Amino acid sequence: MQADDRPARDEDVHELAQGMPHVTVEYGKSGNAVYQVGGKSFVFFRTPRPDAVDPVTGERHPDVIVFWVPSESDKKALVQDEASPFFTTPHFDGHRSVLVRASRLGELTLRELTEVVQDAWLSQASRRRADAWLRDHPDLKP
């Protein structure tokens, strides 16, 4: 198994987000990391909220991560399969983002997570920064 085919982990989200250019990290009141490019969030660790709960216990999920996506169609592609770890809630209707529980990151490979983080960054970076990054990474699709 190649390194990027291994299951993704929580710490990979941090490493990948911090590895993108021009990234700053803010921290919420609970110490949750919010990764930004040009002052715009592209990945953030969400505090437990009433819209993301365990369907059996009703308890709020403590491990939700939000990723921006390029478009509504990208969002639909990620959340339409019920077996996918990605989901959304009515709170995020009309918002170009998807949610995933950190406890389910292992259902993704590191390669898949890398693509999600890169797409999140590209969706929020300025056109100039995104174009420069894509020029430096010609093997990746925009």
- Confidence class of residue 141 from pLDDT cuts 50, 70 and 90? low
Average pLDDT, the chain: 92
**Per-residue pLDDT tens digits for 52-98:** 888 888 899 899 999 999 999 999 999 998 889 999 999 998 999 99
Tokens read off for 126 = 């300025």
Residue 31 CA: distances (Å) to CA of 4, 15, 21, 123, 130: 29, 17, 22, 25, 28
pLDDT at 142: 53
pLDDT at 64: 95
